[in-house]
């Protein structure tokens, strides 16, 4: 009896320790995440669109995400704050639920300290912190994945039909939040296989349970029939509804980008970046994860295969199918998908810590000290960029863009974050309802035209995405309110535009400069946490460059332009245009020494971009554009060196310009002038090359005629 009582006391202490650790995990992560939450709409992927869809109970882009739309709407009815903040809180709650669920699984299997260490590491995962603070469905997806893992491990330990049916229903329901949860299905089926292979009836009933969860997609069919404000693809008839939930009628960003590459061409670069993600977020715990894999393989073979299936299907297999180029934009799109395989890594890390502690008979303080080291390393790596409590970038950008648009005008935008931010401000915040927003990328879609006709009956859309300059002219000419475009819009060449802050106009005017009203409070955040925030910051830099370029070609830049270009170089230090145009400004004032330094900086930045373009597997036409821009910077650097009395340096710069763009006529012409008094044959050769590259080059033709006439005399 005494031994039994002592055993019960040990169990109670163990339960108390697990509960205390779980409470610590909950309180610490909850407080930290709430502190770090963005105060409003986050500058992240589809956050603005999702907020609009939730607010209006609309139909989101394919496949519609009905589970997120409905659960987030319910949460918004009780959570505090502005609407975007409510959804940020909802994502934090889902992420916290995933962490606590993972901790519960790991603590039951491997003990309190290994489980707490793995869960804390996962809470410090930069991607986890990001998706747990934005109005997107990723953290809800992770929470459902953890629940599905719980069902899988229960089946691995003990076969029960009820658990299988519950897991099947959960899988179907989770697929109405995000389709990529299907990548967790192999793990679930491996766990359930011993029971399924003996009973086809059980499998058939499981399929019905899956279908009942999946049937939430009927929300799209019903809701679309009432013509909501946001009604992507209008799935109100059966054929369109099926096309939407199967994504047949929709090419996602992943699909569209990957089509430019052969299948599997970019697999190894993507594996490399996922490995770097693991190192950043798990650091030395990866050694524990390796030990955990070995321990699981030796002791719990089927459980090992369950987790391995989860890791391989949602990690390497997904990256092979995604086939995305390793550039910052594509990597930012892929990054949230890393979290599913990260669950398996966290599981193995806990298993490894428990196995190593057992093998080396390490006391609890030693295990705690090792775990603390892992957590401190992860915190040091990720916490500086985790806090977004001063992330005003999206809403400030939207208001600044709108401030440059007169009443009742049309504003065309294209990129997701920019367009969806404008949607959010107008739909949810009620700002500038007079502006008629047009999504360039959707302007040719029948459903979007139909929806626009219902809401804005006087707005006659053209296909601004693929219709070319003719479609733009047709769209612009009859509109009495004026048409504007944000700088992310893709405007055909040959269509004149006039810069107006973050937007451009298609007619000249004397409207006040909106730039002085920009507050730039988002710059106080200490840098950009991710690609999407930087892209918004870069749009301000592009606005400064656009105005400087226009003024440079129409009377000359002003001191205010130069100040803005200097600020632009801070906003986007990778952009070559600010130093280039500052070089033009300094050269116009005769300050050639300063101009040469600026032109050289622009040339070096272009050279760096060209190296990155190779690393990012950029498409050939884009690389040629970067190369030509670099050639132009080298050309101007050569001119500045000539002006400062360095002909040898100038020749080297012109040669570099020609190496970057062999068809640059001005580089050949400048080389001819450089040799004018030294080598007439070389002059003739360079002038002929300039005319071969550009038969309309007047100066080259003039001097070549002079040389030819002098030779005849």
DSSP string, 354-421: HHHHHHTT--HHHHHHHHHHHHHHHHHHHHHHH--TT--HHHHHHHHHHHTS-TT-EEEE-SHHHHHH
User: And the tokens for 488?
Assistant: 């992310």
Instruction: Give the per-residue pLDDT at 364.
Output: 83
Crossing angle between the packed helical segments 112-123 and 364-386, to the nearest 10 degrees: 10
355 and 444 part of one domain: no
Match 């076969």 to its residue by tokens: 159
3-state secondary structure 111-179: CHHHHHHHHHHHHCCHHHHHHCCCCCCHHHHHHHHHHHHHHHHHHHHCCCHHHHHHHHHHHHHHCCCCH
Q: Estimate the share of the chain in helix, then strand, then coil, as percent rounded to the nearest 5.
A: 70, 5, 25
pLDDT of residue 247: 74
Burial pattern 362-373, b for ≥16 Cβ within 10 A else e, equals beeeebeebbee
Q: Is the residue at 630 inside a domain?
A: no
- Residue 713: what pLDDT? 45
How wide is the angle at C-alpha 455 spanned by C-alphas 454 and 460, nearest 5°? Answer: 80
C-alpha angle 478/479/481, rounded to 5°? 150
- Domain boundary, last residue among 529, 560, 591: 560
Q: In which residue are the tokens 């804390």 written?
A: 120
- Cβ atoms of 210 and 168 within 8 Å: the answer is yes
Domain that holds residue 500: 390-560
Claim to verify: residue 347 and residue 433 sit in the same structural domain: no
Residue 710: its pLDDT value, please?
A: 60
In a domain, 3, yes or no: no
Contact criterion met (CB below 8 Å) for 669 and 686: yes
Residue 24 CA to residue 22 CA, distance in Å, equals 5
Q: Are residues 297 and 423 in the same domain?
A: no
How big is the chain by its Cα radius of gyration, in Å?
30
> SS3 for 267-286, per residue?
HHHHHHHHHHHHHHHHCCHH
Task: Please tell me whether residue 463 adopts helix, strand or coil conformation.
Answer: coil
Is the domain of 231 the same as that of 353?
yes
Residue 631 lies in a domain: no
Tell me, yes or no, whether 312 lies in a domain. yes
In contact, 515 and 526? CB cutoff 8 Å: no
Residues 352 and 297 in one domain: yes
- What is the total count of domains within the chain? 2
Which of 330, 467, 488, 517 is CA-nearest to residue 422?
Answer: 488
Residue 6 lies inside a defined structural domain of this protein: no
| Of 352, 386, 420, the domain-final residue | 386
Please check whether residues 420 and 367 belong to one and the same domain. Answer: no
H/E run at residue 438? strand 436-439
Whether residue 247 is found in the same domain as residue 371: yes
Q: Are 562 and 582 a contacting pair, CB within 8 Å?
A: yes
Say if residue 154 is in the same domain as residue 212. yes
566 located within any domain: no
What is the predicted pLDDT for the residue at 108?
95
Which residue positions in the chain have pLDDT lower than 50? Answer: 250-253, 712-713
Sheet holding 498-500, edge to edge: 436-439, 410-413, 483-486, 503-505, 498-500
Whether 645 maps to a domain, the answer reads no
Residue 5 lies in a domain: no
Residues 598 and 583: their CA atoms lie apart, in Å, by 5
Q: Find, among 43, 26, 40, 158, the residue nearest to 431 by Cα.
A: 40
pLDDT at 524: 66
Interatomic CA distance for residues 523 and 490, integer angstroms? 26
**Strand pairing partners for 412?**
438, 485
Last residue of a domain, one of 386, 406, 426: 386
Same domain, 321 and 431: no
Contact 349, 121 (CB under 8 A): yes
Please state the φ and ψ torsions of residue 493, each to the nearest 5 degrees: -65, 150
Are 411 and 471 contained in the same domain?
Answer: yes
Same domain, 397 and 484: yes
Is the domain of 294 the same as that of 435?
no
- Is residue 414 a contact partner of residue 45, using CB atoms and an 8 Å limit? no
């Amino acid at each position: 009896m005494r031994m039994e009582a002592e055993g019960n006391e040990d169990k109670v202490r163990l339960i108390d320790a697990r509960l205390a650790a779980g409470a610590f995990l909950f309180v610490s992560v909850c407080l930290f995440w709430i502190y770090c939450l963005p105060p409003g709409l986050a500058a992240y992927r589809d956050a603005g669109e999702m907020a609009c869809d939730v607010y209006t109970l609309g139909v989101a882009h394919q496949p519609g995400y009905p589970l997120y739309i409905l659960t987030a709407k319910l949460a918004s009815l009780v959570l505090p704050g502005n609407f975007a903040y409510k959804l940020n809180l909802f994502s934090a709650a889902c992420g916290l639920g995933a962490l606590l669920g993972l901790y519960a699984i790991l603590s039951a299997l491997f003990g309190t300290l290994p489980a707490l260490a793995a869960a804390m590491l996962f809470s410090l995962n930069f991607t986890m912190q990001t998706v747990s603070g934005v109005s997107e469905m990723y953290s809800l997806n992770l929470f459902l994945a953890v629940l599905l893992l719980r069902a899988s491990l229960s089946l691995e330990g003990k076969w029960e039909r009820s658990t299988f049916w519950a897991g099947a229903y959960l899988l179907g329901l989770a697929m109405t939040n995000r389709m990529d949860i299907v990548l967790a299905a192999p793990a679930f089926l491996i766990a359930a296989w011993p029971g399924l292979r003996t009973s086809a009836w059980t499998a058939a009933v499981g399929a019905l349970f899956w279908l009942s969860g999946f049937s939430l997609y009927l929300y799209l069919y019903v809701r679309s029939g009432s013509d909501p404000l946001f009604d992507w693809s209008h799935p109100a008839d059966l054929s369109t509804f099926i096309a939407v939930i199967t994504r047949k009628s929709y090419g996602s960003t992943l699909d569209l980008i990957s089509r430019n590459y052969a299948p599997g061409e970019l697999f190894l670069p993507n594996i490399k970046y996922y490995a770097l993600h693991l190192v950043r977020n798990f650091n030395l715990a990866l050694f524990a994860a390796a030990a955990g894999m070995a321990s699981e393989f030796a002791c719990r073979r089927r459980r090992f295969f369950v987790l391995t299936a989860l890791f391989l299907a949602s990690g390497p297999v997904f990256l092979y199918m995604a086939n995305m180029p390793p550039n910052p934009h594509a990597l930012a799109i892929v990054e949230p998908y890393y979290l599913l395989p990260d669950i398996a890594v966290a599981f193995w890390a806990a298993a490894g810590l428990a196995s190593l502690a057992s093998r080396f008979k390490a006391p609890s303080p030693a295990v705690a000290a090792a775990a603390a080291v892992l957590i401190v390393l992860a915190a040091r790596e990720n916490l500086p960029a985790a806090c977004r409590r001063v992330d005003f970038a999206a809403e400030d950008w939207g208001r600044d863009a709108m401030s440059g648009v007169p009443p009742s005008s049309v504003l065309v935008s294209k990129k997701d974050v920019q367009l969806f931010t404008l949607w959010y401000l107008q739909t949810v915040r009620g700002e500038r309802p007079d502006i008629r927003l047009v999504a360039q990328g959707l302007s040719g879609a029948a459903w979007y035209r139909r929806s626009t006709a219902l809401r804005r009956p006087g707005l006659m859309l053209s296909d601004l995405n693929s219709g070319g300059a003719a479609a733009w002219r047709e769209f612009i000419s009859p509109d009495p309110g004026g048409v504007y475009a944000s700088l992310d819009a893709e405007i055909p060449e040959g269509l004149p535009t006039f810069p107006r802050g973050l937007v451009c106009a298609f007619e000249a005017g004397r409207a006040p400069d909106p730039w002085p009203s920009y507050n730039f409070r988002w710059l106080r955040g200490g840098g950009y946490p991710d690609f999407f925030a930087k892209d918004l910051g870069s749009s301000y830099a592009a606005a400064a460059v656009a105005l400087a370029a226009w003024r440079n070609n129409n009377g000359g830049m002003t001191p205010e332009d130069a100040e803005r270009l200097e600020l632009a170089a801070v906003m986007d230090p990778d952009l070559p245009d600010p130093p280039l145009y500052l070089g033009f400004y300094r050269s116009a004032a005769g300050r050639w020494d300063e101009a040469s330094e600026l032109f050289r900086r622009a040339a070096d930045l272009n050279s760096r971009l060209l190296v990155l373009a190779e690393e990012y597997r950029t498409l050939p036409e884009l690389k040629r554009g970067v190369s030509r821009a670099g050639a132009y910077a080298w050309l101007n650097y050569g001119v500045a060196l000539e002006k400062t009395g360095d002909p040898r340096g100038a020749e080297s710069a012109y040669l570099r310009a020609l190496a970057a763009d062999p068809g640059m006529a001005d580089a050949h012409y400048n080389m001819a002038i450089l040799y004018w008094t030294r080598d007439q044959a070389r002059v003739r050769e360079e002038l002929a090359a300039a005319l071969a590259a550009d038969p309309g080059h007047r100066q080259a033709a003039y001097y070549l005629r002079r040389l030819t006439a002098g030779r005849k005399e």
